[in-house]
Amino acid sequence: MERSRQLSERIGELLTTRGETLAVAESSTGGLVGSLLTDIPGSSEYFDCSLVTYSNRAKRELLGVNAETISTKGAVSVETAQEMALGVQKSAGTTWGLSTTGVAGPGGGTEWNPVGTIVIGVANASGAETQVSAARYQFDGDRLENKRLFARQALVDLQDGLTNDLTPE
Residue pLDDT, tens place only, 38-90: 999 999 999 999 999 999 999 999 999 999 999 999 999 999 999 999 999 99
Angle at 28 between CA 104 and CA 127, to 5 degrees: 135
- Distance CA(9)–CA(17), nearest Å, equals 12
14-29 pLDDT per residue, tens: 999 999 999 999 999 9
pLDDT of residue 164: 87
**Which contiguous run of DSSP H or E holds residue 79?**
helix 78-92
Q: Which CATH number fits domain 2-164: 3.90.950.20, 3.40.50.150, 3.30.750.24, 3.30.365.10?
A: 3.90.950.20
C-alpha closest to that of 133 among 74, 94, 80:
80
Cα torsion angle, 140, 143, 145, 148, sign:
positive
C-alpha closest to that of 8 among 41, 49, 37, 51:
37
pTM: 0.95
pLDDT of residue 165: 63
No. of helices (H) and no. of strands (E), the chain:
6, 5
Residue 143, helix vs strand vs coil: helix
Q: Is the pLDDT of residue 169 over 70?
A: no
111-166 pLDDT per residue, tens: 999 999 999 999 999 989 999 999 999 999 999 999 999 999 999 999 999 998 64
